Structure 1
Amino acid sequence: MVTRAVVKGVGHYLPERIVPNSEFEASLDTSDEWIRSRSGIERRHFAAEGQNTSDLATRAANAALADAGLTGADIDAVILATSTSDFTFPSAATMVQAAIGMRHGFAFDVQAVCAGFVYALANANALIMAGQAKRVLVIGAETFSRILDYTDRSTCVLFGDGAGALVLEAETGTGESSDRGILATDLNSDGSYRDLLYVDGGISTGTTGVLRMVGKEVFRHAVEKLAQTAHTALDKVGLGADDVDWVVPHQANIRIIQSTAKKLGVPMDRVVVTVQDHGNTSAASIPLALSVGVARGQIKRGDLVVTEAIGGGLAWGSVVLRW
């Protein structure tokens, strides 16, 4: 018998303001058709003035808790994946902890950019398997609209704001791949690729900075590394592409999603796609897509789900779980 981290609830939150591609036409040499053809993105959500990452995260957390039939008092740990925390410190996770009425346990942020939620899931799984926590609230939340260069048409049209959350709970499994819960994880990073995707600000500059990306190189690394990490995680539990019910990828670009699915050997009708409505929401991308996939009736109890993501660092990884 083994301990498994099983999904008990899922939820998400998107800011009210919807920004269609056409909104960029007034200030940039771009068009709705140009953006759609290169990214698959049609619209995205931007946080309101004064609405911070912790606010989005709290809304998603409360939705996931309600779905699980739990309250903040039932949670032992909060792990929040984000690159756009409200402050240098304290962590946004501790703000969520206070907002949901959790007065015990612990909370911390994980920063692995777009791969952040995969890293957070792997950490939550390890805490549960080690007996450090019984129930963990895992959140991905971002306000990337605050770190974009709105004169750079190659980047500013790609990103959006949002949050998604899962509640994981310890359950006893058989140790077989038929168990519900997280079955395998695979994490990777390579700091030599730092200059491909980064924000040119921080403590060292005294500025917030804006996002910089070498798009073609990121695309190339993404397709290769995402397929590889998913295969690695599946191999750990003796499963293959034919066993996968749903791939829930990081929603960065429809062409990356399609190319990775092809390399994985999974048809697009088994891939959850939300990039057209949300844009790239970085660490919020996968939990948002999981929540939407459940709401659509795509992801059901017992389904084998593979999530994979890559972000600045470069950092990438995957999680195989049975819903």
Structure 2
Amino acid sequence: MSPSRASRTRRIGFLGLGMYVPPKVLTNHDLEKMVETSDEWIVSRTGIRERHIADPGTTTSDIATKAAQVALKQAHLSGKDIDLIIVATTTPDMLFPSTSCLVQQNIGAKSAVCFDLSAACSGSVFAMITAQQYLMSGRYRNALVIGAEVLSGFIDWTDRGTCILFGDGAGACVMAPVRRGGILATDMGSDGSAAEYLYMPGGGSKYPPSHASVDQRLHFLRMSGGEVFKLAVRRMADSTKRVIKDAKVKPEHVECFIPHQANTRIIEAVAKWADVPIEKVYMNLQRYGNTSAASTLIALYEAVKEGRIKKGDHVVMVAFGAGLTWGSVLLQW
């Protein structure tokens, strides 16, 4: 079979999953001592009860490596077996080199091609779709995809509108051609006209690090919550409908729905507008908060571990993030 022919018939699936969150837990009651808020207020508006926070000095590559090691063990592979590493993150260890190269060194993946991908909370979905395309071409045998964030260092802990939402963590998957199941359909989209609704102004070429940028608090995440809510619901619901249609799967045959774990109000609204029964929706944000690019992979790992996803089940993963970006994957487990 020629490479071009193979690329049209190859299905890409998952050999192993992994996750890692730092041991330190920050509860809503802890936040009550830091900002003007309450456990009741946070839970009623977001569904979040606690989040994990990395200790000072812990880097994105540190937690990405730990999640990768779990996924590699589950896939019965070692670092030297991996051909491609993609790390989705908005909180890299440094602007360069890429976090993926640091993970490569940590796991001994000497033969792997490595790069990072920046799509904010949509990062893992974008990275999985990107890896799928490389693997379908036949150029690489497998790929290690990681979504990892240490957001706690970029949160304004005096701003109750954002500090209650986010946590640190990493999710990982090993992808490769499979004989049955795998990814059946994908969808991606972006809208730069709405970039101002969710962004961090400092640290790049527009506002390089300086005393002035620090004094002006430009290195913290900024968000227009109301606008993000409306756009997130519409974009994720539409993307979900498209990916189900493209896969030629009946909506009622989707056994598990894994949306980006932003907050319960967004998730419930997406499920409603996408015609997904709430009992099919998987949520774990009550334990981790919004872990951005790590969110959907952490949720996939736990949904499988808890038995919510079984062999042959159809699963939709959908995410939305800064950019704006959104994307979805429909796969058969």
Relative to the length of structure 2, the TM-score reads: 0.93
Runs in 1 of length 4+ with deviation above 2 angstroms? Answer: none
Give the equivalent residue in structure 1 for 2:168: 161
Give the equivalent residue in structure 2 for 1:257: 267
Give the equivalent residue in structure 2 for 1:88: 95
What secondary structure sits across from 2:282 in the alignment? coil
Q: Identity rate of aligned residues, in percent?
A: 46
Question: What are the Cα deviations for residues 55-98 of structure 1, in whole angstroms up to 9, with x where unaligned?
Answer: 00000000001111111111110111100000000110111111
Asked if 2 retains the 8 angstrom alpha-carbon contact of 1:241 and 1:264, the reply is no
What secondary structure sits across from 2:156 in the alignment? coil
User: Which residue, 307, 314, 322 being the options, matches 1:312?
Assistant: 322
Give the equivalent residue in structure 1 for 2:201: 200
Tell me whether 1:140 sits opposite 2:142 in the alignment.
no
User: Aligned runs of 1:58-137 on 2, under 5 Å?
Assistant: 58-137=65-144
What secondary structure sits across from 2:42 in the alignment? helix
Separation in 1, partners of 2:298, 2:307: 14
Separation in 1, partners of 2:60, 2:250: 36
Separation in 1, partners of 2:250, 2:51: 33
Deviates more, 1:130-139 or 1:37-46: 130-139
Give the equivalent residue in structure 2 for 1:291: 301
Separation in 1, partners of 2:52, 2:241: 32
Separation in 1, partners of 2:310, 2:142: 21
Name the aligned partner's letter for residue 257 of structure 1: I
What secondary structure sits across from 1:154 in the alignment? helix
Give the equivalent residue in structure 1 for 2:214: none
Give the equivalent residue in structure 2 for 1:175: none
The gaps in structure 2 that reach 5 residues or longer are: 1-5, 210-217
Give the equivalent residue in structure 2 for 1:182: 183
Question: What are the Cα deviations for residues 163-213 of structure 1, in whole angstroms up to 9, with x where unaligned?
Answer: 0101111134xxxxxx41111111100000011000121222123711000
Name the aligned partner's letter for residue 188 of structure 1: G
Name the aligned partner's letter for residue 123 of structure 2: G
User: Aligned runs of 1:42-57 on 2, under 5 Å?
Assistant: 42-57=49-64
Report the RMSD for the aligned CA atoms in angstroms.
1.1
Separation in 2, partners of 1:118, 1:160: 19
User: Which residue, 268, 271, 281 being the options, matches 2:281?
Assistant: 271
Asked if 2 retains the 8 angstrom alpha-carbon contact of 1:80 and 1:140, the reply is yes
Number of residue pairs aligned between Structure 1 and Structure 2: 317
Separation in 1, partners of 2:112, 2:61: 18
Asked if 2 retains the 8 angstrom alpha-carbon contact of 1:231 and 1:240, the reply is no
Asked if 1 retains the 8 angstrom alpha-carbon contact of 2:104 and 2:112, the reply is no
Asked if 2 retains the 8 angstrom alpha-carbon contact of 1:72 and 1:102, the reply is yes
Separation in 2, partners of 1:131, 1:144: 35
Asked if 2 retains the 8 angstrom alpha-carbon contact of 1:10 and 1:166, the reply is yes
